[in-house]
Structure 1
Amino acid sequence: MQELLFYFFIILAASILQTSTGFGFSVMATPFLLLLFTPQEAMQINIILSLVISFSLIWKVRHDIDVALLKKVMIGSVAGAPFGSILFALVDVTTFKLLIAILLIGLTILLIRNFSIQQTRSRDYGVGFISGMFTTSIGMAGPPLLLYFASTHRNKETIRAVSLAYYIFIYLISLLSQVIFEGTSKMVWIYSMYALPIVFLGLIFGQMLFTRLNQKLFKILIYFLLVAAGLILLIQSLWTML
């Protein structure tokens, strides 16, 4: 019973974060889900519930989606995904995670110090490429998008809407490939079903939070998520090395 309550608390917190920002479910949930499930089960539960949130919100946020930007990010991610698989097969993943963690934390510090870049067509494709590569190599699609959107100063509505729409695309592909090539388990789907009422509760609270967040607070949340993602990767890689 205690494990189930802990599971529900994790899902509620992650659902609120994902609903209010468009990001954060995997950052918040995955480290704790790994305490309860195998890595494959934790990843699949994460993907399924992230998809539920994205599908539940997509109609509401559809008018905020920058369709041109979304298309370029999606095309870039399709091109980047095979390179991520090659990296996963050829390089030491632990060392790669360590480098990404240091880079992620360093770039976030630059953002906090008001670093910015100009959005361009090639950079839109590029961030999609990196996101696709990260998805198939370290299982994190979000950080490259977060860094890019924050550095180009997009408004919170566009960031959330594009992110949620992109996750539907990238996570559907990820889930299908995992089920086909790695299989799944009954536990994944049972616990995903258990979590659905909690996810919908998180949707309500997350939407209430989103309406109360101004652009400045939204940016602070983005910085928090980026630092958290970097620290999680850093701890994972250092723990593996020990």
Structure 2
Amino acid sequence: MEDWIMLLLIVFVAALLQASTGYGFSIIGTPFLFMIYPAHTAIQINIILSLWLSVFMIYKIRREIDTALLARLVKGSVIGLVLGIFVYLYVDVQWLKFVVGSLVLILTVLLVLRLTIQQTEARDHLTGGFSGLLTTSIGVPGPPLLLYFAGVGIKKETLRSTTLAYYLFVYSVSLIMQILFDGTTKETWISAGIALPVLLLGILLGQLLFRWINQTVFKIITYIILFFTGIYLLMTS
């Protein structure tokens, strides 16, 4: 019973954050899901719920999508998705969490120090590649996108809509690949189904909050999310 309550709380907070900032569901949700589920089960629950979240939200904000940027991210993700499935199957999850956590913390410090990144098509592709790798391996595509877009200074409206559209692609492909190569469990789908109503509630409240968050507050929330993610991944690795 405690695990169900924990699941619903995690999903609600993560959905609220995702809908209000454009990021946060996987970054916040996955580390906590690791606390109550085996690694591969937690990753698949996160991917299923993230897919639903993207489906629920994308229609309303579809006009804000940067289609050219989206296309480059998707193209770049293809190689990363393939490499990531081998990481998912064969690399120890604890080691991967340590590497990702360290990288997130280092790059976040650089962003806080006002590191700026020049946006180029090659970097768009590269960011998509790293994001794809993290999606099939641990179900968390957000950190590369968040770090890159924060450095580039993309508007929050474009960021939220474009990343959601991108998530629809990478999460769909990742889930199919994971099921084909490693299977799935009944617990995964039951848990995801139970959490769906809470996910929808978090989305609705998060969309209301989005209207009140300015660009400065948005950046602060971004840094807090990244610091939290990096520290948590290191502590649990």
CA distance in 2 between counterparts of 1:208 and 1:215 reads 16
**Which deviates more from structure 2 when the two are superposed, residues 220-229 or residues 2-11?**
2-11
Query: Any unmatched runs of 5+ in structure 1?
Result: 238-242
> 2:210 aligned with 1:210, yes or no?
yes
**Which deviates more from structure 2 when the two are superposed, residues 194-203 or residues 75-84?**
75-84
Distance apart, 1:234 and its partner CA: 1.3
Whether the aligned pair in 1 keeps the contact of 2:115 and 2:151 (CA below 8 Å) is: yes
Query: Any unmatched runs of 5+ in structure 2?
Result: none
> 2:35 aligned with 1:35, yes or no?
yes
Whether the aligned pair in 1 keeps the contact of 2:104 and 2:230 (CA below 8 Å) is: yes
Which residue of 1 is the match for residue 14 of structure 2? 14
Which residue of 2 is the match for residue 142 of structure 1? 142
In the superposition, the TM-score normalised over structure 2's length comes to 0.92
Alignment of 1:105-120 (within 5 A): 105-120=105-120
Whether the aligned pair in 1 keeps the contact of 2:47 and 2:139 (CA below 8 Å) is: no
CA distance in 2 between counterparts of 1:176 and 1:134 reads 15
Q: C-alpha root-mean-square deviation of aligned residues, in Å?
A: 2.0
Distance apart, 1:138 and its partner CA: 4.0
| 1:148-206 CA-partner distances (Å, limit 9, x unpaired) | 10000001001111111111100001111122222222222222221111111101111
> 2:71 aligned with 1:62, yes or no?
no
Give % identity: 46
Whether the aligned pair in 2 keeps the contact of 1:27 and 1:228 (CA below 8 Å) is: no
Change (3 A) 1:48 1:95: closer
Whether the aligned pair in 1 keeps the contact of 2:53 and 2:203 (CA below 8 Å) is: yes
Change (3 A) 1:103 1:181: closer
Which runs of structure 1 show a deviation greater than 3 angstroms over 4 or more consecutive aligned residues? 83-97, 136-139
Change (3 A) 1:35 1:58: same
Which residue of 1 is the match for residue 102 of structure 2? 102
Change (3 A) 1:118 1:92: same
Which residue of 1 is the match for residue 235 of structure 2? 235
1:159 counterpart letter in structure 2? L
Which residue of 2 is the match for residue 155 of structure 1? 155
Q: SS state of the match for residue 124, structure 1? A: helix
Change (3 A) 1:226 1:4: same
Q: SS state of the match for residue 35, structure 2? A: coil
CA distance in 2 between counterparts of 1:29 and 1:96 reads 17
Q: SS state of the match for residue 212, structure 1? A: coil
2:128 counterpart letter in structure 1? G
2:151 counterpart letter in structure 1? S
Which residue of 2 is the match for residue 222 of structure 1? 222
Which residue of 2 is the match for residue 50 of structure 1? 50
Alignment of 1:172-183 (within 5 A): 172-183=172-183
CA distance in 2 between counterparts of 1:88 and 1:22 reads 25
Q: SS state of the match for residue 123, structure 1? A: helix
In the superposition, the TM-score normalised over structure 1's length comes to 0.90
Change (3 A) 1:3 1:15: same
1:100 counterpart letter in structure 2? V
| 1:46-89 CA-partner distances (Å, limit 9, x unpaired) | 11111111001101111110000000000001022233445667
1:7 counterpart letter in structure 2? L
Change (3 A) 1:54 1:217: same
Which residue of 2 is the match for residue 121 of structure 1? 121
Distance apart, 1:31 and its partner CA: 2.5
Change (3 A) 1:38 1:94: closer
Which residue of 2 is the match for residue 240 of structure 1? none
Distance apart, 1:94 and its partner CA: 4.5
Change (3 A) 1:188 1:86: closer
| 1:22-65 CA-partner distances (Å, limit 9, x unpaired) | 22112222222223222222111111111111001101111110
1:75 counterpart letter in structure 2? K
Aligned residues: 237
